[in-house]
C-alpha cells in the first residue's frame, strides 16, 4: 500500500500504475491472506482517492455545468424538431432554470410547436 500511495502522490497516471502492478503480479504472488487484505485496503484507498471533499463553490460549479449541458441538449433537440431557433427562443432556453428545462424537455416529446414546448400554446389534457 505504501507503493500505491507513493505512486499516487507522484501523480502517476492510472494507466502507468496499472502497468507496474501487472509487472508485479507477473513477478510475485502474495500469500492468500495478505492478498485479501491488500485488495480490501486498495479498494478503500481508491474510494477515498476518488471522493475528495467538494466545497460548496465546486458543487455550485458542477450544478451550473449540468444546467448548461441541459440547455445545450434542449437547444439541439428543438433545432432538430423545429428547425433553427430565433435568438429570443435561444436566449429563453439559456436563461431558464433547471426545473423549467426539464419541464420543456418533457413537453418536447409530444409538442407540435415551440409554443407547446414553452407552455404558451394549446394545452393538452394532461396539463390541466
Report the predicted TM-score, pTM, of the whole model to 2 decimal places: 0.52
Greater model confidence, 9 or 91: 91
Between the alpha carbon of residue 19 and those of residues 16, 25, 26, 37, 105, the distances in Å are 5, 10, 11, 21, 44
Q: How many CB atoms lie within 10 A of CB 70?
A: 19
Predicted confidence (pLDDT) at residue 75 exceeds the cutoff of 80: yes
Domains of the chain, by residue range, sit at 2-50, 56-127
pLDDT of residue 49: 66
Question: Predicted confidence band at 50 (pLDDT cuts at 50, 70, 90)?
Answer: low
For the residues 53-79, what does the mean pLDDT come to? Answer: 81
Amino acid at each position: 500500500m505504501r507503493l500505491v500511495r507513493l505512486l499516487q502522490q507522484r501523480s502517476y497516471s492510472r494507466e502507468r500504475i496499472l502497468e507496474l502492478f501487472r509487472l508485479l503480479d507477473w513477478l510475485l504472488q502474495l500469500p492468500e491472506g495478505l492478498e485479501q487484505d491488500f485488495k480490501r485496503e486498495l479498494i478503500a484507498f481508491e474510494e477515498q482517492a476518488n471522493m475528495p471533499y467538494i466545497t460548496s463553490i465546486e458543487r455550485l460549479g458542477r450544478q451550473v455545468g449540468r444546467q448548461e449541458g441541459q440547455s445545450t441538449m434542449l437547444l439541439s433537440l428543438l433545432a432538430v424538431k423545429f428547425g433553427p431557433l430565433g435568438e429570443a427562443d435561444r436566449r429563453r432556453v439559456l436563461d431558464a432554470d433547471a426545473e423549467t428545462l426539464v419541464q420543456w424537455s418533457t413537453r418536447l416529446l409530444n409538442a407540435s410547436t415551440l409554443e407547446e414546448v414553452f407552455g404558451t400554446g394549446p394545452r393538452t389534457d394532461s396539463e390541466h
